[in-house]
């Protein structure tokens, strides 16, 4: 592969990684500010904690999606060796487990389960 194309792919990968990390960091900070505002505003403490955990989990999930995308771009486009694909598979497996765990924590159900009262659409 041409060196300039490889450099461009590395740049795109870094941008996607920075975007993912930024989403997690900004989401965590914004969630903390909102949480502290709710506590100062005499809102229900349990509801404030539940909203904090849900918002923080969603920020982490979105950031993880960007980080997985960056790993896929880097592995497939730059270094498509058997070892790099195996490492990517491990990373995706771990991050998928984290995503499912966070989804269960946020929603109280697995992603493939219907919400209570949700009708099956045909």
pLDDT number for residue 118: 57
Indicate the pTM of the whole model. 0.76
The DSSP string of the chain is --HHHHHHHHHHHHHHHHHHHHHHHHHHHHHHHHHHHHHHTT--HHHHHHHHHHHHHHHHHHHHHHHHHHHHHHHHHT---HHHHHHHHHHHHHHHHHHHHHHHHHHSS-TTSPPTTPPPP-
Looking at every residue in the chain, the average pLDDT score rounds to 85
Instruction: Give domain limits for the chain.
Output: 3-107
Res. 109: pLDDT tops 70: yes
Q: How confident is the model at residue 122 (pLDDT cuts 50, 70, 90)?
A: very low
pLDDT, one tens digit per residue, over 24-41 is 999 999 999 999 998 888
């Amino acid at each position: 592969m041409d060196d300039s194309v490889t450099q461009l792919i590395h740049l795109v990968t870094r941008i996607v990684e920075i975007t993912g990390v930024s989403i997690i960091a900004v989401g965590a900070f914004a969630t903390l500010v909102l949480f502290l505002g709710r506590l100062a505003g005499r809102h229900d403490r349990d509801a404030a904690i539940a909203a904090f955990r849900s918002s923080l989990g969603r920020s982490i999930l979105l950031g993880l999606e960007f980080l997985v995308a960056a790993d896929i771009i880097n592995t497939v486009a730059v270094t498509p060796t058997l070892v790099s694909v195996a490492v990517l598979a491990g990373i995706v497996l771990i991050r998928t487990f984290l995503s499912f765990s966070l989804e269960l924590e946020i929603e109280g159900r697995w992603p493939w389960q219907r919400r209570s009262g949700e009708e099956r659409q045909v």
